[in-house]
Structure 1
Amino acid sequence: MPRLLFFCGHAGTGKSTLAHRLISPLMQRTGEPFCLLDKDTLYGRYSAAAMAAITGDPNDRDSPAYLENLRDPEYHGLLDTARENLVLGISVLVVGPLSREVRGHLLNDPAWLHLPPGTTTQTVWVHLPEDEAHARIIRRGNPNDAYKLAHWDAYRTRRFMPAPADYPELIFFDNLAPGEAELEALLAALSA
């Protein structure tokens, strides 16, 4: 049975780095092929061109114009690509914030996801304290973060930390300074 694994969380939490670190061990442990679909890699160049046409700023990934015009189509395309791989029997690791979808409990809803029968789904919520995520965003110096940083007070209102009691479907991963034991526990949970 193919697996659909989501690595979700807010900007700067290390979702992509964690996914890159775990995909090879996941393939070794499960014996299954995996496809890595990172929203920023998949849609980065397209979004740059579209936002340059819409707002004149190719690095805009957080303004109301982006959220109204590109956010949902990017996520739908990401899920369509994941679904296509799953139909072929290839497990998929999806990386993206997907915070609205997490908030709505949609990522464990096979009917909403339109998954092939037998697909196993798990969602990892990668989190950090806001001040550390903010510092990491500054350090990485990605031009796509400029709008977010310039409008941090507005952006931070979209950040939320799901309560484990309200989101039992999530695997919570504190990415502040995980040790080998924490990484092994996550790997074991995802490969079970």
Structure 2
Amino acid sequence: MPRLIFFCGHAGTGKTTLAHRLIGPLMAATGEPFCLLDKDTLYGRYSAAAMRAITGDPNDRDSPAYLDNLRDPEYEGLLDTARENLALGISVIVIGPLSREIRAHQLNDPQWLHVPAGTTVSILWVHLPEDEAHARIIQRGNPNDAYKLAHWDAYRTRRFQPDAADYPELIFFDNRAPDDAQIDGLLRTLAA
């Protein structure tokens, strides 16, 4: 049966870079085809057009207008696309913060997730200290981060670091400066 692997975490933690680094080795280690679904790639252009119409700012990805109107439909579409691939027997990597869903333990709830029976689900929580994530966001210079950076105090109230004791379903990965051994260990965990 196929695998569903979530790469979750807050902005600037390196989820996408890590997923890109691991998808080839995962396919080699498991012998399975994988589809990579990144929320920003799937919905970035759509969200820009919608937010331009709603707020006049195509780069707004964190205001109350975005969170109230687009956030949940984007995630629903992302998961629908993952389910469709899984039903075809194709393993899927999903990249997105998914912090609300993590907080509510929904990604390991089969009734909420609605994936085909037998799907192996792994949930990776990629994390960094807030100051380092903030610095990486500034460094990458993505216009979609402008609202978040301008309203950092409000954004940071939504950041949380799940505790391993309360979230045993998560695989935690500190992405400050992983060495090859840590990457290999993560690969083995995800491919198991």
Q: State TM-score, norm by structure 2.
A: 1.00
Structure 1 residue 176, shift from structure 2 partner? 0.2
Aligned equivalents of 2:85, 2:111: Cα separation in 1? 17
Counterpart position of 2:113: 113
Equivalent-residue separation in structure 1 for 2:91 and 2:109 (angstroms): 17
Residue type of the alignment partner of 1:104: A
Matched residue, 2:103: 103
Map 1:68-79 onto structure 2 (within 5 A): 68-79=68-79
Q: Name the SS of the counterpart of 1:6 in structure 2.
A: strand
Equivalence map 1:60-75=2 (5 Å): 60-75=60-75
Q: 2: CA distance between counterparts of 1:90 and 1:61?
A: 30
Paired position in structure 2 for 1:158: 158
- Give the distance between the partners of 1:8 and 1:87, measured in 2 at CA: 22
Quick one: distance in 1 between partners of 2:132 and 2:185? 23
**How big is each residue's C-alpha offset from its partner over 1:63-104, in whole Å with a ceiling of 9 and x where there is no partner?**
000000000000000000000000000000000000000000
**1:130 is matched with which residue?**
130
CA distance in 2: counterparts of 1:113 and 1:103, whole angstroms: 14
Q: Which amino acid aligns with 2:62?
A: D
**Paired residue secondary structure (1:94):** strand
Distance 2:9 2:64 in 1: 20
- How many pairs were matched up? 192
Q: Displacement of 1:109 after TM fit?
A: 1.1
Contiguous gaps of at least 5 residues in structure 1: none
Give the secondary structure class of the aligned counterpart of 2:92: strand
Q: Distance in 1 between matches of 2:158 and 2:181?
A: 31
Between the aligned partners of 2:105 and 2:31, the Cα distance in structure 1 is: 29
- Map of 1:59 onto structure 2: 59
Q: TM-score, normalised by structure 1?
A: 1.00
Q: Distance in 2 between matches of 1:185 and 1:164?
A: 18
Distance in 2 between the 1:180 and 1:107 partners?
28
- 2:27 corresponds to: 27
Give the C-alpha shift of residue 3 in structure 1.
0.2
How far is the alpha carbon of 1:111 from its aligned partner? 1.2
1:47 equivalent in structure 2: 47
**What is the aligned partner in structure 2 of residue 86 from structure 1?**
86
Unpaired stretches in structure 2, ≥5 consecutive residues? none
Q: Secondary structure at the match of 1:80?
A: helix
Q: Counterpart amino acid of 2:2? A: P
Determine the C-alpha separation between the residues in 2 that align with 1:181 and 1:100.
31
Runs of 4+ in 1 over 3 A off after TM superposition: none
Tell me the distance in 2 between the aligned counterparts of 1:72 and 1:189: 30
> Using the alignment, how far apart are the partners of 1:3 and 1:166 within structure 2?
24
Aligned to 2:184: 184
